């Protein structure tokens, strides 16, 4: 399931993030790429231990924890601390699939990348190119969102970032290990939760609400991998 989530960050929060990122020291993004992806990667990235990366990563994790759309769609068990990239001057990232397992820096913990997320920190009119292109069984999907908006999609997806030919594209990206491993099941739970919320808004006292909510939580019990 691919889902676009608006307004993860406010305009002021984006401005603060951008100010910090513009003053940071960037390195060649290939330093963090795998042995296959390194051949396709042409961008800049903040070092994982950079103070700005840690500060902004914690800030974004806090915002995600308060975002009901993300929580409902991802059903997060663990989230890898966000990373930050920068594309400019023709920089791109060719087709690749993300690593299946990531180690959490400075810990012994590992995270399975069930869900990939990109949080855009530049508005579309600030740069040309830089579209995220995600392939699935229905074809290629092109994503270029306003700053502060985010897209989530299955971590197993083949995807790329097209060359940025004007301006600079800033973004945060990270991976989530979900309580429910299979994307098809997460999609069904998302649709069920969305339907329940719509019914709750229009008919909060409907007699079927407890039963529907119970079905939702019992499915999570059935499908949870924890």
At 76-133, the pLDDT tens digits run: 999 999 999 999 999 999 999 999 999 998 889 999 999 999 999 999 999 999 999 9
57-73 pLDDT tens trace: 999 999 999 999 999 99
Residue 181 CB burial class (10 angstroms; 0-12, 13-18, ≥19): middle
Q: What share of the chain is helix, strand, coil (3-state, %, to 5)?
A: 35, 30, 35
Q: Is 141 annotated as a binding residue?
A: no
pLDDT confidence band for 24 (50 / 70 / 90): very high
Residue 11: strand, helix, or coil: helix
171 vs 35, higher pLDDT: 171
pLDDT at residue number 193: 97
In the chain, the percentage of residues whose pLDDT exceeds 90 is 87
pLDDT at residue number 40: 85
Q: Is 169 annotated as a binding residue?
A: yes
What are the CB-based long-range contacts (under 8 Å, 24+) for 103-109? 104/80, 105/48, 105/49, 105/81, 106/49, 109/78
Cβ atoms of 192 and 216 closer than 8 Å: yes
The tokens 């920089």 sit on which residue?
91
pLDDT at residue number 35: 65
163-186 pLDDT tens trace: 999 999 999 999 999 999 999 999
187-207 pLDDT tens trace: 999 999 999 999 999 998 888
Residue 158: strand, helix, or coil: strand
- The answer to whether residue 38 scores a pLDDT higher than 80 is no
Q: Is 96 annotated as a binding residue?
A: yes
pLDDT at residue number 83: 97
């Amino acid at each position: 399931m691919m889902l676009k989530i608006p307004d993860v960050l406010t305009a002021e929060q984006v401005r603060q993030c951008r100010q910090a990122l513009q003053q940071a020291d960037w390195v060649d993004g290939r330093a963090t790429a795998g042995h296959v992806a390194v051949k396709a990667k042409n961008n800049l990235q903040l070092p994982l231990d950079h103070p700005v990366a840690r500060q902004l990563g914690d800030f974004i994790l806090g915002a995600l924890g308060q975002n009901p759309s993300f929580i409902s769609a991802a059903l997060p068990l663990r989230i890898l601390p966000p990373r930050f990239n920068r594309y400019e001057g023709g920089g791109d990232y060719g087709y690749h699939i993300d690593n299946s397992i990531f180690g959490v820096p400075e810990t012994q913990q590992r995270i399975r990348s069930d869900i990939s997320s990109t949080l855009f920190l530049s508005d579309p009119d600030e740069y040309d190119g830089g579209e995220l292109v995600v392939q699935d069984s229905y074809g290629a999907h092109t994503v270029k969102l306003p700053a502060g908006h985010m897209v989530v999609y299955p971590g197993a997806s083949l995807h790329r970032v097209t060359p940025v030919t004007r301006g600079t594209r800033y973004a945060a990206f990270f991976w989530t290990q979900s309580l429910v491993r299979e994307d098809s099941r997460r999609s069904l739970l998302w649709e069920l939760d969305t339907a329940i919320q719509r019914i709750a808004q229009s008919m909060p006292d409907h007699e079927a609400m407890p039963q529907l909510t119970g079905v939702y939580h019992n499915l999570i019990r059935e499908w949870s991998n924890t």
